[in-house]
Each structure stands twice: as structure tokens, then as C-alpha cells.
Structure 1
Amino acid sequence: MSDFPFSGLNLAIATPFDAQGRIDLGRLEQNIERYIAAGIRGFVLSSGTGMHAYLSADESKSLVKKGAKIINGRAKIIVQTSALLVEDVVERTRHAKDCSADGVMVLPPFFEGPTDDRGIVDFYTEAAKGGLPIIGYNVPQAVGVAITPSLLRELCAIPGFCTVKDSGGDLGKQASLIRTGLPVMNGADHLVAYALYAGCSGLIWGGANFAPRTTVALVEAAASKDWADVRKIWASLEHVMSLLWEGDYVQSVYAAADLVGYGAGSPRKPLRALPADRVATLRRALGTLVEREAA
């Protein structure tokens, strides 16, 4: 993974909110500093886990500007710049570039956008005019567009398009993308260990919000090809990462981060905090991670 610019673990950081639902920039700084101290060397700002869809354009830009200033070159910065209009994607990407971001993550056209390969290629060709490396975002269950191996080959021929983040959740389909020999990033929490073994180029991981030390250790073991250690570490993560994937993903990440001590408040409306019974289930699934991350 060493030759790929976004190798290793890139944390899709949860955007902190205060009791009134406003972005809490003070908490953002506290959390980023703690994550860097825990070994995180890549961040995704305004990520899906960070509630990009529920931030206004100005809020997202403010978040990116502040986050990049805090990070200050100590870690890679990826910014989600997805928008309905490709012109807005380009404008947001240029803002990210002005904030010294290293790359951007962009959803394909969504909400009645084109679904044919030509339309997707044209969209990303226009998006690349923003001037930063683009990470495509494969999440067909939410967008209705699937990035196939043949489409990935076409996309990677676009100057500036560097990889795809696969959050489809199907290891077999992700492996078919990896077999193209092109860079592929895993974005499905419950597949991390398997995706690393399959040869993914890097990770964008929302669940790392509540287990930064443990997830960093897993990625370092994989980089050393110590698969026995990977399996041992994954055993402490697998239950909770699988639970996230069963539903209420963002709410579960926020709740788990709070349980472990990396609180970001409650997710913004229209999402609601997890009910008490679901939090109790999540706490059981965390197991020893609470003590491990506090150590």
C-alpha cells in the first residue's frame, strides 16, 4: 500500500455537534488532536459518517477550513465534496484545495442522475476540473449507481481520478475491483480485515472513530503481513463492526464514540440518537475496546 497516496487508515471523522445541533469546532479540535496522538495519519472531513448530507455548503466549508488548520500537515486530508450539481462539486473541490487538502471523495450523480457508464464518466471528467485527486464513491445501495470493474478502468483513465472507495459491502464484488490491478479503497467496516488480505489499497473507516488505537494496530499488522496478528486484533473489532453494518450506521458510530470517550454529541436531525436498548447492545459488542482505547 506504500505507493498509494491514501494508503493505510483514513478516519471518516464524525462531525461534532453541540446541544443545539451546531458544529462544535472546539470539540473537533480536541478529537483531532486525540486521534493524531493515537496514530491516525489520514482524515476524511465532511464524510458520510460526518453527516455531509446534512451540512450546508457553508458549514461544510467552515468545517474543512478549521479541520485542515488543526491538522496542519500532520496527516493526509481527504474532503468529501459531493453535490447534486457538478459545478458545485468543482467549486467545493477548489475550496478544499485552498485549504491544503490532499484529495476529495465524490459520489457519482445521485437523485435521478445518469446511471449509464458514459454519464458517470462524463460527470467525473467534469468533477476533475476542481484540481485535486478524486476518490470515487461506490455505495450502490444508497445512490443506485454501481462501479463495476469495466467502469473503474474507464474512470481511472480520467486525469485526476485515482481510486474508488467501495462501500457496497460485498467482498466478492470488491475483490473483482481489486483484481483489475487498479487502486481500490475499502469503506465497509465489517470487511476490513478481509479487504486488507485481498489487497485493497487503503481504508476509509468510520468505525475507527471509537477505536483509533486498535484500528491503527490492525492496519500496521496488515502492512507487515502479520496475518495472525491481524486476525487476533480483528477478533476484538469484528462484532461491533458487523453490528454497525446492520443498520443505523451513523447513529451507532456517534453512540459508540461517546461510550469510548471520543464523543461528538448526537447526530444532527433528521437522525436521532440511538434508543437505550440499542446503546446497551452496542456497549456489549464493544467488549474490551472501551478499556483498550482508554489505556
Structure 2
Amino acid sequence: MRLSGSITALATPFDVAGELDLDAWERLLQQQLDGGTQAVVVAGSTGEAAALYDAEFDLLLRSAVEFIAGRIPVLAGTGLSNTAKTIEQTRRAAVLGADAALIVSPPYVRPTQAGLIAHYLDIADDGALPVVLYNVPGRTGGDLLPETVAELCGHSRIIGIKEARAEPERMDALLRFKANDFAVLSGDDPTACRAMLAGADGVISVASNVLPAAMRRLCDLARAGNADAARQLDAQLQPSFDFMGVEPNPIPIKALLELQGIGRGLRLPLLPLSKAYSDAASSIAATVRELESACAHAA
């Protein structure tokens, strides 16, 4: 499996009682398919994985696999702070039908680089699913360095990395490891266009929850080397990206989804979008509708 293009880190819709809203979940999945999304991630950080019970993780993943029915890859967020638990979670995801596992560096425990190598190799050697590395230091407290990735990317079961650091130097360092069997993916919407123009294979995106057609269009333009058109669309997307950073992810994206009628709120300790941003949310929602319409017609 070769991951590329626009990949959505799915939010998890809840109802007014705080329970999973499976009707909204299926509408979100259909929105992704209609918009041209090329893979999805279930139960990542955008999906509030830390707030999900085991049975909810199973239900979300099983229902996504059944609904998508092989049309695009389904990745499961299985990364936990302990190697044995991550292996167990990855095995469960395999049984439920996931195509690959997106595995964040162990949060909070801050292992050494040697510890990260041992962690990922143990998971890959177990062989339950192909592994996509995920580096997001702002959430984990540790940084998966390029020299560490160099030690991992040759493993046959490690098929890519999602890099959430925004510095061009980091992406340039990782692009040295890009190969037919190892994808380099941006994990940062605001700099994804730049990364793809430099050679990245795609983006695992938050924004594509509400902008699937626009993010697919951006990926197609950038990966084809159509730099002027890609940068023009990227400039149009930047206000939406900026809004999605006004409070911690997934608060802003879930506010936009709620305005689309998909889901109602988050689970504590996350709170709904602050009222100070209500007008901005409405304005961005209108921008999203315009961009989606334009990009759907351009496809």
C-alpha cells in the first residue's frame, strides 16, 4: 500500500448527550468519499482518541471499514504510551479491518531516540498492520528525529511518516527517505502545500473534514508540480487554516462540522469553541462552502 494525496484525520461526532453519533459519522464518511479524499484516519488525536472507550474505538473503526468498503484505505490511530499496549491496540485494529496503523510517538513518557527505535521496531515486527510513524512534538513532548526515521524507514512494515513539524528544514530532511515503499506526509495543513511542492507525498489533514474537495484539489495541483495554481488555492485556504488554530484541535474543526449539521460538541476536558470566535466560525463556514463548491466543479 502506498499512501498519498489528501488523507483526512477524522473528527468523531457526538450527539447532545455526549454519545457517539453514528448517523453523523456516516454522513462525515460520505462527505469524504464525495470530496475525493484518498484515505481516512479513525481515532487519531483529531478524533479525540484519548476520550474514547475501547468499545467505541471498535465501533467507529468497524463501521468506517464497512461503510467505506475498500474504496479508500482506512487507517487506525493505535499509538499509546506503552509499546505492549500499542501492539495490542494495533492487533485489535487489524481484526476490525483497518488497512494500516497511524502510530504517534509515545505521549508523555518522552523516550530516548533509541527507545523510539525499539518501540517502533517491536510494533512493526509484530506484523499486525503496516505502520505509519507520526511525529507531533507539541502533543507528545518528544521529537522523532530524522536520523531516527533513517533507522526505521527500511523496515518492510513501516510504510511512511506523518510529520507535524512545520519547519521546511525538517521536511527537507525527511524527503531524503522518500521511496516507493515509504511515504512522507505532511501533518500540518498551513504548510502542506509547500511540503508537497518540495516532494512530500500528501497530507494527513484536519481541514479536510470540512474541505475534502478543496484539499484534494490542493494535493492534485501541488503533487503535479502546478506551483502557481497550488499556491493560489493555498492562499485561499489559509484563513480557514488560521481559524482551525485559534483553539486546540479539534475544537475549531468540530465547531465547523456542527455548523454543517455533523455532530454536537466534544468531551471534557475539551470545551466547545469560545463564544468570542462564533462570528469567525460563521464567516469561515461560508468560505468553506464557497471553496468546496468551486473545487468540486474544478475536479
Q: Please tell me whether residue 118 in structure 1 is matched to residue 117 in structure 2.
A: no
Q: Offset of 1:285 from its aligned partner?
A: 4.4
Output the CA distance in 2 between the equivalents of 1:34 and 1:270: 28
Structure 1 counterpart of 2:136, one-letter code: V
Cα distance per residue 1:136-166 (max 9 Å; x no partner): 1101122122122211101113341122111
Alignment match, 1:276: 275
Q: Which runs of 5+ in 2 are unaligned?
A: 295-299
- For the aligned residue pairs, the C-alpha RMSD in angstroms reads 1.9
CA deviations over 1:94-141 (Å, ceiling 9, x no partner): 222223322101122222242x12111111111121421111110112
How many residue pairs align between the two structures? 290
1:289 matched to 2:259: no
Any conservation in 2 of the 1:135–1:163 contact (CA below 8 Å)? yes
From the superposition, tell whether residues 21 and 58 of structure 1 become closer, same or farther in structure 2 (CA, over 3 Å): same
Match 2:70 to one of 64, 69, 73: 73
TM-score of the aligned structures, taking structure 2 as reference length = 0.90
1:22-61 CA distances to partner (integer Å, 9 max, x unpaired)?
1111211122112211212211011211111111222112
> Which amino acid in the other structure matches residue 114 of structure 2?
R
State the alpha-carbon separation in 2 of the partners of residues 285 and 143 from structure 1: 29
Q: Is the 8 A contact 1:12 1:49 kept in 2?
A: yes
Q: Aligned-pair distance for 1:172?
A: 2.4
Partner SS, residue 268 of structure 1:
coil
Unaligned runs of at least 5 residues, structure 1: none
Preserved CA contact (<8 Å) 1:90 1:127: yes
Structure 1 residues 171 and 54: CA distance shift in structure 2, 3 A? farther
The TM-score with structure 1 as length reference comes to 0.91
Over the matched positions of the two proteins, sequence identity in percent amounts to: 26
Q: Name the amino acid aligned to 1:133.
A: P
Q: Which runs of 4+ in 1 moved over 6 A?
A: none
What one-letter code is carried by the residue in structure 1 that aligns with 2:275?
Answer: A
d(CA) in 1 for partners of 2:48 and 2:222? 29
Q: Give the counterpart letter for 1:245 in structure 2.
A: G
Q: How does 1:225-244 map to 2 (within 5 A)?
A: 225-244=225-244
| Secondary structure of 1:78's aligned partner | strand
**Counterpart of 1:189 in structure 2: which amino acid?**
D
Q: Say if 1:31 and 1:262, in contact at 8 Å, map to a contact too.
A: no
Change (3 A) 1:235 1:24: same
Residue of structure 2 in register with 1:157 after alignment = 154
